[in-house]
Amino acid sequence: MLSFFAGPTVLRGTDNIRQYTAKCLLPEMPYVADAPQVPLPGHKTHMNRLHIRPEPYRRLEMIDCETFMNIGSVITQWAQRVFPDRPLKVNDLDEETGENLTLPCPAAYNFAIADIWHTAAVDIHRFAGWLDTFPLTTTQRLLHLAFPNQTKAWHFKLKQDRDKELFQYFLWTSPQLEASKTRPPLDPDALEMMTRKSVVIAFQPPWIMSPADLKEFVECQNFPPYQGGATNYLESKHRVWGKLWDVCVTNESQFFVLTTYDQWVFGTFSQRWTGVFFSPIYDFDSSEPSIAECLTFWIASAMRITRTLVLPKLPEPVGLPPIVVEPSDDPIEYHQSESNWTGKSSDYAASAGVVLDNVSLVSDAGIFETTSPINKPEPTAVSSNIHNWMANLPEIMSEVPNYLTQHQTEAMSFQHISSDPQPGIFYY
């Protein structure tokens, strides 16, 4: 008697979009030799020279990273409720619009997602293509499948920005909304309601915004107030916040996403733009929630689709004048003093002459990661380097006590590093 064993059932994404949305992953973006170099872990790029300076119209008074700290579980529960697990009896590809489910799933889930090839991201323009082809095309298709009545006319559109070599963004928009910018509707309230449904998907490649830069961005707790033109200098993290604020206010988009493709942050400005709430950083291969779940939830929340995010209440002044975003064209001075030194073992200052074999001298976590004690090696391996280095210091260093003998150096432990170290100087 012959027996036949059927193989696993091959599924389209539309056969179970609840599971597909939860399990799909962004493909890892390859970096090729022609692409700009991505900094080593823990290093900032110093490339984020956005044309942003202090402006009187920009009023961002509160930056809140705590309210949405645990929003991941909310997103996961929402996706489980709203996405059906029954077959929709349609193909993944919409042949009329060209929309498709493009994000792959692990083989264990048996989703037959067509392989899509895309050229390597050698510049920000091809980087935009990666975002469009993979996460955004899939998100648009999922929203049109799950909420056809509310989202059918909406799509992602790449917009141009003056800092287009450093910063670009997609806008979740509709033909009606785009037309209203040249032919405003008769009802201003209807226009505001429509524009508030739009979402800014801002992006910078990791050679512009490294993980260290993004970490500094999300840890920023305040935005410097305008001081009457006393200074035109902002730190990198403040320039990014200023750019996001300007772009969102210009498009009247309360909801935004900031991504380097490898990492994602989801945020929303308050009703009158004086405050902002945002999520923790999610990696491109995040699960529970997946990036697809985060994107669909965030856009559905902006569009006020049922069972989505209710914005926190924030006391804000009433009667504020309309905001007119008019950035100055004057040149901006960028300070060279933004240190790239993080205190990591891989980041010795060249002037110290310390060889890279002595990697245990400083904590692998760097000075910003933890307050726990740093690694304390036997310092004999580096004592000669330290003496050679100190011998070459300027004459002012002659005041260093002459009792720094070989024996005492061997007994010395590195107990503290200043919170504001100067490159090449160890603090004992």
Given 239, 273, 302, the domain boundary residue is: 302
pLDDT band at 325 (very low <50, low <70, confident <90, very high): confident
Pair (298, 367) in one structural domain: no
Per-residue pLDDT at 319 exceeds 70: no
Residue 180 domain flag: yes
Rounded to 5 degrees, φ, ψ at 268 are -150, 140
Residue 62 domain flag: yes
Give this prediction's pTM.
0.76
Residue 182 domain flag: yes
Pair (276, 360) in one structural domain: no
60 or 388, higher pLDDT: 60
Full domain range(s) for residue 221? 35-85+124-302
Residue 23 domain flag: no
Using DSSP's 3-state secondary structure scheme, residue 192 falls into helix
Residue 34 tokens, joined: 């022609």
Pair (239, 378) in one structural domain: no
Per-residue pLDDT at 383 exceeds 60: no
Q: Report the pLDDT value the prediction gives residue 178, as an integer from 0 to 100.
A: 87
Residue 48 domain flag: yes
Q: Report the pLDDT value the prediction gives residue 181, as an integer from 0 to 100.
A: 73
Residue 389 domain flag: yes
What digits encode the pLDDT tens for the residues 67-81?
999 999 999 999 999
Pair (295, 354) in one structural domain: no
Pair (74, 194) in one structural domain: yes
Q: Report the pLDDT value the prediction gives residue 381, as an integer from 0 to 100.
A: 42
Pair (130, 237) in one structural domain: yes
Pair (178, 241) in one structural domain: yes
Residue 92 domain flag: no
Pair (283, 363) in one structural domain: no
Pair (41, 141) in one structural domain: yes
Residue 328 domain flag: no
Question: 172-188 burial, b if ≥16 CB within 10 A, otherwise e?
Answer: bbbeebeeeeeeeeeee
Pair (280, 393) in one structural domain: no
Q: Report the pLDDT value the prediction gives residue 72, as an integer from 0 to 100.
A: 97
Q: Please provide the average confidence, as pLDDT, over all residues in the chain.
A: 79
Q: In the chain, how many domains are there?
A: 2
Pair (368, 287) in one structural domain: no
Given 270, 286, 302, the domain boundary residue is: 302
Pair (296, 397) in one structural domain: no
Contacts of 299 (CB under 8 A, 6+ apart): 139, 143, 151, 172, 199, 255
Per-residue pLDDT at 322 exceeds 70: no
Q: Report the pLDDT value the prediction gives residue 407, as an integer from 0 to 100.
A: 36
Rounded to 5 degrees, φ, ψ at 264 are -135, 140
